[in-house]
Amino acid sequence: MSPRFRAILILRLSNTTRLLILLCFLLKTIKANVRAQLTERRTYTAKSAAGFERLRELQRRERDSSREKVEGLGFEVDEWKSKYKQSKAEANSAQNTLQKEITPLRDTNRTIQLKLRDIEVANDDFERQARNTTSSLEDLKSKYNVAIERGVMLEEEFKLGEQERGALKIETQRLRGELFDLKVEAEIM
């Protein structure tokens, strides 16, 4: 039926019938719209369900992957805990061993420190004696130098005395000779 023919038919019918026909057309249009919307919704719902299913699958995979990672990390954590405990035990053992070794070393160090102090005191005494000896030696050197100078001066005086003595001997000889001559002359006379 063509739309024009329908329109003519509708004009000839009574108002109530027209109203019912209009209502029928309206209901058919609404029904078609509702069916279209329903189909559209079903399509959307199917797409959404597929998307949700994909999303749920991705989430499940991520969850499984995360669980595996957590389990792996759990093993790693346990391994690190065990290594930590082992390291701590080794460190405590080493510390105890070092404590045992350090006690005699401290005693030895204390003994060495006391000996060192005694040696330093003795060294101070030796240094004091060395200073005194050096001072005495310097005094002796200065006295020795003075004695040498005095010896040199006495030697010079002795040489001068020897020269004077030699001169006096000569003079004495000469005077003796003269005296002898004078005695001889006095006897002769």
Helices (H), the chain: 3-12, 15-188
- pLDDT for 19: 72
Residue 187 lies inside a defined structural domain of this protein: no
Record the tokens describing residue 171, joined without a space: 């003079």
| 31-48 as b/e: b if 16+ CB within 10 A | eeeeeeeeeeeeeeeeee
The string of pLDDT tens digits covering residues 82-110 is: 999 999 999 999 999 999 999 999 999 99
Domain-embedded: residue 183: no
Q: How far, CA to CA in Å, does 10 sit from each of 20, 24, 32?
A: 10, 12, 22
> 186 in a domain, yes or no?
no
Tokens 């391994």, located at residue? 79
Q: What is the pLDDT of residues 136-146, one digit of tens each?
A: 999 999 999 99
If you search the block for the tokens 């759990």, which residue do you land on? 74
Q: Report the domain count for the chain.
A: 1
| Residue range of the domain that includes 111 | 3-177
Residue 182 lies in a domain: no
Cα 175 to Cα 169: distance, rounded to the nearest angstrom: 9
* Contact yes or no for 60/49 (Cβ under 8 A): no
pTM (2 d.p.) = 0.35
Give the pair of three-digit tokens for residue 57. 């699958």
Query: pLDDT tens digit string along 36-74?
Result: 998 888 888 888 888 888 888 898 999 988 888 888 888
Helix axes 15-188, 3-12, angle to 10 degrees: 130
